[in-house]
A and B are shown apart, each in its own frame.
Chain A
Amino acid sequence: MAYPIVAAHGIHKHFGQLHVLKGVDLEVEERELVFVIGPSGSGKSTLLRCLNRLEEPSSGSITVAGIDMLSPRTDINHARQHIGMVFQSFNLYPHMTALGNVMLALRKVAGKSRSEAEDIAQAALERVGLADRAHHRPAELSGGQQQRVAIARAIALEPRVMLFDEPTSALDPELVGSVLAVMRSLRESGMTMIVVSHEMGFARAAADRVVFMDHGLIVEQGPPAQIFETPAHERTRAFIGQIRQH
């Protein structure tokens, strides 16, 4: 068995009075695609955001690619290069072109020269099928294209893990396919991925494991077929049933 590239143990998160994560354990192996599902407010996005410390866990331990993410001695900016993240609302920088969006961290974090960064960024845009949109601003791109630029921005840094936080939830239905296609090709290239999403079809086709969360805890997990067809817990069954009706 491969060593886990992501290991989170006993993660608790409080927002004031609110106890959002109540002791979550999650291990993800290299090249694994883990799907996290659950009702809104179950803590799945918070868990994802704790992994790269966009959210500071109240307690617990997190190791990513061998780096102790919660140690005060860890250079968090350096560590985050290894963890790509894609957001529901794309969050591109509107004052820069697609190429500029991808190049920024290559230049300022990875310390690449301008021409080197440009080559890498162009190649990353090529991978998401947007080489011909390199010089367009986000406002000139469709939602699906913007999200693919956001994926290019993350993968250009050659992360060890990619986190997807509801990557298709803000997209019109006809644009979802193009983003899922890029995610599938990433998967085929062996990228380790943790995906919070309601795209059950994609989960069924591509996920190695589905994790069901509710009320700040992992209720159950297993291969997609098991979770979707024969869930062990009543809460999982109820949730899958609700999703199916949509």
Chain B
Amino acid sequence: MEEIVQSFFNAEIAEAAMPIVLAGLLNTILLSLLVVPLGFLGGLILAVLAQVRNPAVRWPLMAWVDFFRAFPPLVLLVLLFAGLPFAGVELGGFACVAIAFFLNTGAYYGEILRAGIESIPHGQVEAARSTGLSGLQTMTYIVLPQAVRNVLPDLLSNTLEVVKLTSLGSVVAVPELLFQARQAQSVTFNATPIVMAAVIYFLILWPVVRLLSRLENRAAAGRG
């Protein structure tokens, strides 16, 4: 028992590792603040383009979305980080994470938003167009506000996944939460910093999980 406390819940080590781990937290937050809006924006563009009937737009778009949904984000990340230098392009770890996640999560956000857009009755679009609103105005004022609300639980759920996935950045030496915790672990020969990282992840994500359950319950009640 004593041994477990010493290796996993060591107060002395926790205190020493705190600044390192917190620096990692800061990077995780920064990375999330970069990747989530970027992925959402990418998804928005994909979802709106998916409404274009022209096959010259439709097919490449479907191929794009399918490809990046099927491609494991870790493989994509390693490929960018370790592969691009052979093409003479050296991007930092941070940029690689941003691009890989933009491609991966954008495809996911795109599919969620597309479902949301397609849940809006077409009659509303026709009514809006009949009053002279352009296609883009109709999308902006009529379709998207309702579409986003209809798929809010799914968007939030995906966001949760994205924040958790930022820990993949540790593989390409981005000093985010997990990477920093592992650094601290390797110098202290103690697992306490990893436990700290786990607790921090839980503390920042658990409120989102709670919110998600409430939204899902409310959606279920609304349907019933």
| A interface residues with partner B (beta carbon < 8 Å) | 52, 54, 77-81, 83-85, 87, 89, 91-95, 104-105, 108-110, 150, 153-154, 157
Contact = CB atoms under 8 A, between A and B. Distances in A.
A80 B127 CA distance: 11
Contacts, number: 66
Given A94-B146, A108-B141, A80 B129 contact: yes
Contacts of B141: 104, 108
Name which of A79, A89, A110 has the most chain B CB atoms within 10 A of its CB.
A89
28 contacts: A54-B126, A77-B129, A77-B134, A79-B132, A80-B129, A80-B132, A83-B130, A84-B130, A84-B131, A87-B123, A87-B127, A91-B127, A92-B124, A92-B127, A93-B124, A93-B142, A94-B146, A95-B146, A95-B149, A104-B141, A104-B142, A105-B132, A105-B133, A108-B133, A108-B137, A109-B132, A157-B131, A157-B132
Name which of B128, B134, B145, B146 has the most chain A CB atoms within 10 A of its CB.
B128
Interface of B: 121, 123-124, 126-134, 137, 141-142, 145-146, 149
Nearest to A157: B131
Chain B residues touching A, majority SS: helix
A77 B127 CA distance: 12
A74 to B, nearest CB: 12
Contacts of A54: 126, 129-130
B126 A87 contact: yes
A95 B127 contact: no
A78 B131 contact: no
Contacts of A85: 127, 130
Given A104-B141, A108-B137, A108-B141, A93 B130 contact: no
Given A77-B133, A109-B131, A109-B132, 18 more contacts: A54-B126, A54-B129, A54-B130, A78-B132, A81-B131, A81-B132, A84-B130, A87-B127, A91-B121, A91-B123, A92-B127, A93-B128, A104-B128, A104-B131, A105-B132, A108-B133, A153-B127, A154-B130
Contacts of A83: 130
Nearest to B123: A91
B150 to A, nearest CB: 10
A114 to B, nearest CB: 14
A154 B133 CA distance: 12
B132 A91 contact: no
A33 to B, nearest CB: 19
A157 B146 CA distance: 24
